[in-house]
Amino acid sequence: MSGRTSEVVAGRDEVAPRPVVGRTTVHAGTVFDLVRDDIDLGDAGVVTREYLDHPGAVAIVVLDPQDRVLLLRQYRHPVRTVMWEVPAGLLDVDGEPAVEAAARELAEEADVVADRWDVLADYATTPGFSNESVRIFLARDVHEVPEAERHERHGEEAEIVTAWVPLDEAVAHVLAGELHNPSAVTGILAAAASRAGGWASLRPVEAEWPYRRGVLPD
């Protein structure tokens, strides 16, 4: 067993970038780019990988005092499905704190404001094909945005329908294979697990997030 392996903690990811010796933008998109990197793996040689360079996103599990989670119903064209999701949005404002982006998206998508915020979970959506990272917040102590101040939604967002679903019922939908949005699946299961532990796993909103673009090394 090598010295490097002996330092590894099983179950804990480690940011350990390998040198990028060449990069090409294959396609520049409106949200993300398709890039091609040549990566020096040392003794394993130089390999070429294509992936989506993505700004990242935030998602929000909103719980009310009755332990109901707020779900949104929205059409997702790539999978040709109307999905139940948790509120979410892109980190497309340079330098914006993630919790502020989450609060903005929550108000715009669901007409809801939360007074209490915690970090629930972080995940990389498809680490073999994209650098997209998502931070999931838990939002509580919620109230509605006044009707006169509500955001005017367009496109698929104009068709959003909201529902409050008991958290245990939402977990059952996940385990039955009836709910598929990754932020909803991850967030709902994480919320149920954290609740079972008395919410001791929650982290502060400024908790380290090494996988956010701009923080993650090239």
Collect all residues with Cβ–Cβ distance below 8 Å to 109 and sequence separation of at least 6: 72, 87, 88, 89, 151, 153, 157, 160
From the list 157, 169, 178, 206, the catalytic residue is 157
Provide the pairing of β-strand 112-124 with 46-53: unpaired
> Quick one: which of 211, 63, 58 has its CA closest to 137?
58
Clarify whether 144 is annotated catalytic.
Answer: no
The answer to whether 112 and 104 are in contact (CB under 8 A) is no
The two counts, helices (H) then strands (E), for the chain are 4, 10
Provide the pairing of β-strand 57-62 with 133-144: parallel
Residue found by looking up tokens 């299961």 in the block: 189
**Six-digit token pair at 153?**
């939604």
Give the C-alpha separation, 132 to 125, whole Å.
6
Catalytic residue IDs: 157
